Structure 1
């Protein structure tokens, strides 16, 4: 297949490209072609095509979607930054406008892609220490929930032209990078510990399972709809840090107080300090996906070791 991918050089995107480019032709939509080209190994380059684009603006790049078999949209500004008013607008625009322009590009194609696989996030549900969320749970009303609703609404418009749509609401992705890259160094120097009170839920997924879910959705035309991309056994922040400490043979004893994180991330700290318990009911039951890393200990052992 010929598959266009946005966010291809990100934490998840580059692993997906590496897996798909072995057997498929990948169109990498990127802001920086030279940087993107340097991300991927030389043995894959013959199956990679690089297109310069600005996701927030319509342009000639939209024509490059013509003739693609499908599109995977993973683009969006990182949320692990300080949320100034201008950055909050960037978080929204990079997802809402980026997806809108992508869908408009798909709609304008003479030979339309057969599918759009679109990222979203479990931030859709809002935060809670007591609620349990599945794919049928309603949206929350905080900033990140509103971003996810706007993001998904833009993706839904692709169904106007009978393009198959799959939306994955990502949990916190664990792998060689991402959230763990910030957590492991303190543990290495015996200074690791939970963030905030430690009672908040941490709904996670191993990056291998996430990539496998994306590949499955690409390969099977019967898969359609919205799915939670989270492992079946979420944990609390305390459990996460205790397990990480055990796997690394380090103590989990030095909590990071909530106010310190708020000083660093501002409003963005809310996501980490409040959390949510999300279960992948449709992912396991409707899609029938069997997680390679269902429990946290096996996931962390694979990543850390």
Structure 2
């Protein structure tokens, strides 16, 4: 399959691109920076240097040609949520990098002649769609939350769903992605390896997670199986509390995990962005299980063993 990838040069893309190439797909990558994938050399991989957040990107002849010759589009563009304080400017960047990019992408797809449009769009979202709760359990049919992240995810998904009139649309509400070289786990590992790790905040917040390995497998399966359509919670079936996650991580590393990280420290560093780590939600992958998707990393201990070795 010939696939256009948007925003796939980061943490997930570093694993997704080699996997798709190994499966025999032809890839065109659009990103502001191809540096994380510079080592990937393949005649099946083409890089188009462009900022997917800029509407003008989608008017470039090379991008239009790539869209017109692609059978599928994977859209994972988006500024990282929990790496900076949420100033007004950063909130605007979080919004534009998701909503404006997806809107412009769908518009560019729709502008193509009917026979040239990609037939599949896989687009990212996040479990922040549901808001946060220590007691609630959320499936794909649960209502959206009311905080900033929930509103951002709703608007993001709406832009992707606009393509459903001419393409098969799959929206993945992605949880905490586990991998040693990035994401939340990548930041926690150096501290835990020194023996100074522990639960963040009160430790009772839920962590709904998925290994990067299983997320990439899911994207590959959603590409090849047309039964996938609509919205899915991209999380493993075993959400856990932060205190249990910290204990399991310490055990996987053979290190103690008793020293809690006080919430005020994170709030000082990240402001509102700290709520992604300090608050959480128990999210279940009901539709994936109904679809028959088999998680290779379904249990936390096995997932951490893979992610930390």
TM superposition score category, shorter chain reference: over 0.9
Partner of 2:214: 209
Once the two structures are TM-superposed, the CA of residue 54 in structure 1 deviates from its matched residue by 2.3
CA contact (8 A) 2:110 2:163 kept: yes
Matched, 1:196 2:201: yes
Matched length = 299
| Runs of 5+ unmatched residues, structure 1 | none
Cα distance in 2 for partners of 1:36, 1:105 equals 26
Once the two structures are TM-superposed, the CA of residue 41 in structure 1 deviates from its matched residue by 2.4
Partner of 2:164: 159
Matched, 1:109 2:112: yes
Moved more, 73-82 or 196-205: 73-82
Matched, 1:231 2:236: yes
Runs of 4+ in 1 over 4 A off after TM superposition: none
Q: How does 1:1-305 map to 2 (within 5 A)?
A: 1-22=1-22, 23-33=24-34, 35=35, 38=38, 40-42=39-41, 45-56=42-53, 57-58=55-56, 59-60=59-60, 61-81=63-83, 82-110=85-113, 111-160=116-165, 162-176=166-180, 177-285=182-290, 287-305=291-309
Q: SS of 2:5's equivalent?
A: strand
Q: SS of 2:12's equivalent?
A: helix
Per the normalisation by structure 2, the TM-score is 0.94
Once the two structures are TM-superposed, the CA of residue 63 in structure 1 deviates from its matched residue by 4.2
CA contact (8 A) 2:14 2:37 kept: no
CA contact (8 A) 2:8 2:29 kept: yes
RMSD after superposition: 1.2
Once the two structures are TM-superposed, the CA of residue 37 in structure 1 deviates from its matched residue by 5.4
Cα distance in 2 for partners of 1:282, 1:122 equals 14
Cα distance in 2 for partners of 1:251, 1:191 equals 7
CA contact (8 A) 1:37 1:50 kept: no
In structure 2, relative to structure 1, the CA distance for the partners of 1:151 and 1:62 (3 Å cut) is: farther
Cα distance in 2 for partners of 1:36, 1:123 equals 26
CA contact (8 A) 1:5 1:27 kept: yes
Cα distance in 1 for partners of 2:190, 2:154 equals 34
Cα distance in 1 for partners of 2:94, 2:206 equals 23
